[in-house]
Amino acid sequence: METFDLVIIGGGPGGLSAAIYAIRAKMNVVIIEKTGLGGQIAVTDIIENYLGFPSLSGADLVGHFETHVKSLGVPVKYALVEKITKEDGLFILSLGNEKVGAKSVIVGSGAEPSKLKIPGELEFTGRGVSTCATCDGPFYRGRDIAIVGGGDTAVKEAIYLSRLVKKIYLVHRRDSFRAEKILQERVLARPNVEFLWFHKAVEVKGDQSGVTALEVQDVRTEAVRALEVHGVFIFVGIVPNTAFVDCDKDAAGFIKTNEKMETSVPGLYAIGDCRVTPLRQVAVSVGEGAIAAVSAGDYVSELEGTAYAGKAKSK
């Protein structure tokens, strides 16, 4: 079984940042990523709040990250971590038919879009129901769609999709958005976006060709109406990918940490969207990755009496 000083689970911004700090500290490190580097920002249309880049696509930003990491020779293993156990102070990561050992682990496994759990949602996923505007938006060019949600993601994707589709019904159960003010101003100015305040989605309708309508209900009057749309984009929060790890979590499954990104298990750290945090942004994840890597270096240093992270061996 191959054993590392540090295994980083997830190749998002936080994981890549952690890898840079770890490799510079001369740690034996590997990133384990299940699909591709970059995480959810890889399919984000435009990012405007990352320092040094006034406006660029998520794919372009990931390209910069990936170039930096590859220049340092950080190894990446593509696999799904199914379980983490700890035996005699060593973490054992189960990757299907393979196991990897680690003296320390950083969990940056991210999160998946939440589901509405309404009739028709699962049936028409991939046939009109989507959670990725940049992936599926071009299929609805010149057609009518509905977007469900009121946070940053819903509003940003509405702005992007409004440039492609004929009309958007933006369905939100409250009377105001939770998104950044500048994003609210932009979406409210879009002429082809109709806002359905105080409404919730109740059923996705369709046939063999795909989605044909979204039924919505006024939460005040309980009146139901059908929106004739060909696409339904759902952005109503996230669910953390943390089922494989055993440590303290909140009721929703997000991992609890302290300011050093330490979890309830010594040597185990959490960063990014899978962690309890008041703000989920690229800049935040990058900073958390740096902190976690230094913390992990200190932990391994204590185990071995070496001098990771620039710390001298204590006497």
* Catalytic residue positions, numbered: 132, 135-136
SS (H, E, C) the chain: CEEEEEEEECCCHHHHHHHHHHHHCCCCEEEEECCCCCHHHHHCCCECCECCECCECHHHHHHHHHHHHHHCCCCEEECCCCEEEEECCEEEEEECCEEEEEEEEEECCCEEECCCCCCCCCCCECCCEECCHHHHHHHHCCCEEEEECCCHHHHHHHHHHCCCCCEEEEEECCCCCCCCHHHHHHHHCCCCEEEEECEEEEEEEEECCEEEEEEEEECCCCCEEEECCCEEEECCCEEECCCCCCCCECCCCCECCCCCCECCCCCEEECHHHECCCCCCHHHHHHHHHHHHHHHHHHHHHHHCCCHHHCCCCC
Cα torsion angle, 78, 114, 120, 169, sign: negative
Q: Which of 225, 229, 211, 45 is nearest to 142 (CA)?
A: 229
Burial (Cβ within 10 Å: 0-12, 13-18, ≥19) of residue 314 = exposed
Q: What end-to-end distance do the CA atoms of the chain give, in Å? A: 33
Find residue 107's DSSP bridge partners. Answer: 9, 270
